[in-house]
Amino acid sequence: MKNEGFSLARASEIPHGNRGSVLDHGTLSSSALPQHPPHREISSTHFKTISLSGHTLIEAMFTSAILAMFIIALLSAHLLGLRLNQLVESKAGANDDSRRSLGQLTTDIRSSKRWLIGNLSGTNFVKLANGSIQQGTALQLFQTTNYSTPYILYYFDLSETNNKNGKLIRTVNTNWIPATLASNLIETLFFTAENYDGTPATTQGDSAAFKNVIHTTLQFCQFQYPTTQVGSNCLYDYYRQDIKATPHLPE
């Protein structure tokens, strides 16, 4: 086929080096040009990357530090609660001992009609001589005016005073079963008979006209925190209680 003096040929038949000159001198049909696949638009969603969340090293260190501070604060609050609980138990125990001893002792003194002050030797009560100052570690209380049995005996146990553990003990001569009313007592472990003006009496409690006043001082000394070690640097809770009572029942 001839067209205006030029022959058309397929692109595959034209040498590669002469294709440029052919295009300069004429026009090739579209079938002679190389065919390319149709253009396809790529959506922008294909280029979206997946975002992955993470923490830097500094953020992780700050988080760990805050967590550690929270745990330390929680443990400190727990330990403080335990120490306060021990303190309350110590105070409550001392108060309970003092109330029990005060109530029982004053009731027995007020209900008695005769009394004697002396010291205890084994299980034997040795009364003080009439005319001497009536002060001793044991108190004998009678419910009758003729010193007949049974009688109530109060005495201080001094066997553990070196360990700050004096004891106030109550018993009845019919069964002799000692009951500890108070413990952890120190120093003034004795009973004293006093006149109305507070001076020590020298007469026994056998007068129907004047029965004197029975006076004793209970000094409690307990560990403030029972779990602490024993030693001179430990914390103690101290209580002092004065007890005065007189028999007031009629003859």
* Side-chain half-sphere exposure of 163, counting CA atoms within 13 A: 7
For 195, residues 6+ apart whose C-beta sits below 8 A from its C-beta are 201, 212, 213
> How many residues does this entry show for the chain?
251
Query: Which carries the bigger pLDDT value, residue 85 or residue 154?
Result: 154
**Where do we find the tokens 């430990």?**
234
Is pLDDT at 192 greater than 60 in this prediction? Answer: yes
- Helix or strand holding residue 237 (H, E): strand 236-245
Q: Are 218 and 243 in contact (CB under 8 A)?
A: yes
Question: What is the spatial distance between Cα 211 and Cα 142, in angstroms, rounded to a whole number?
Answer: 13
- The residues that bridge with 60 in the sheet, in sequence order, are none
Inter-CA distances, 178 with 96, 108, 189, 213, 230, Å: 19, 16, 17, 25, 28
- From 151, 178, 153, 183, select the one nearest 168 (Cα to Cα): 183
Q: How confident is the model at residue 180 (pLDDT cuts 50, 70, 90)?
A: confident
Residue-level pLDDT at 154: 95
Residue-level pLDDT at 209: 55
Residue-level pLDDT at 214: 92
Cβ atoms within 10 A of the Cβ of 129, count? 9
Comparing 95-104, 125-134, 158-167, 227-236, which segment has the lowest mean pLDDT? Answer: 227-236
Q: How confident is the model at residue 143 (pLDDT cuts 50, 70, 90)?
A: confident
Is pLDDT at 205 greater than 80 in this prediction? Answer: no
Residue-level pLDDT at 101: 64
pTM, two decimal places: 0.60
